């Protein structure tokens, strides 16, 4: 039962024993034996005594801290903007369940934010980073980074997609309305 780092294993293959190692990512403890859950290569961390698998197949999309997600703002409250999460960026697979995210006013931008409605409005398409997972389907998000924030803003007046005019403001091409946003560096207009 000696496994080496880089060895290719299949679901159920024995990797080691729990007396010697900790079963880490994509492994499970089967009555004292550590086995692989998926097809992938073994990664042996002998310093921390951990065995994990690096999956070679694509993996189910489960949110974890640090993931960048995209979604649509569903509600803006005084202290918190709520977002329906569409999926993980650069991951073709859909999420395993529908997650809803919350962006707290302190996590919306780098500096002080007086009003959350100057950062997000209902319907905006937003990129955000996961900071905390609460329960099964709720996450805390942050947009306090240059490449995070609103990617496509909708006019609250006429629902047209808005054009960016400066770092903090967008303009509606249809009705001429000006609104504030936390605009991402990847704003697409």
- Which residues are at the interface with other proteins (CB under 8 A)? 8, 10-12, 26, 28, 30, 35, 37-40, 55-60, 62, 93-98, 136-137
Asked if 71 contacts 128 with a C-beta cutoff of 8 angstroms, the reply is yes
Best CA proximity match to 43, nearest among 26, 62, 19: 26
> Which CB atom, from 93 or from 163, has the smaller least distance to other proteins?
93
Strand-pair category, 14-17 with 33-36:
antiparallel
> Which CB atom, from 113 or from 133, has the smaller least distance to other proteins?
133
- The least CB distance from residue 64 to other proteins, in Å, is 13
Q: Which tokens belong to 142?
A: 């942050």
- The least CB distance from residue 136 to other proteins, in Å, is 6
- The least CB distance from residue 123 to other proteins, in Å, is 21
SS3 77: coil
**HSE-CB of 107 using CA atoms within 13 angstroms:** 18
Q: Which tokens belong to 3?
A: 């496994």
> Which CB atom, from 44 or from 171, has the smaller least distance to other proteins?
44
> Which CB atom, from 11 or from 176, has the smaller least distance to other proteins?
11
């Amino acid at each position: 039962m000696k496994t080496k780092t880089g060895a290719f294993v299949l679901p159920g293959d024995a990797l080691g024993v729990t007396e010697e190692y900790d079963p880490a990512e994509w492994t499970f403890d089967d009555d004292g034996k550590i086995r692989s859950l998926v097809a992938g290569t073994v990664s042996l961390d002998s310093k921390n005594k951990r065995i994990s698998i690096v999956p070679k197949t694509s993996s189910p999309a489960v949110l974890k801290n640090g993931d960048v997600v995209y979604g649509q703002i569903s509600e803006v409250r005084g202290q918190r903007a709520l977002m329906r999460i569409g999926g993980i960026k650069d991951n073709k697979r859909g999420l395993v369940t529908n997650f809803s995210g919350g962006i707290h006013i302190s996590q919306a931008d780098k500096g002080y934010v007086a009003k959350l409605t100057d950062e997000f409005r209902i319907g905006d398409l937003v990129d955000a980073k996961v900071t905390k997972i609460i329960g099964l389907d709720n996450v805390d998000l942050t947009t306090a980074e240059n490449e995070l924030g609103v990617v496509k803003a909708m006019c609250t007046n006429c629902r047209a997609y808005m054009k960016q005019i400066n770092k903090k403001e967008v303009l509606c091409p249809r009705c001429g309305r000006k609104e504030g946003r936390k605009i991402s560096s990847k704003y697409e207009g």
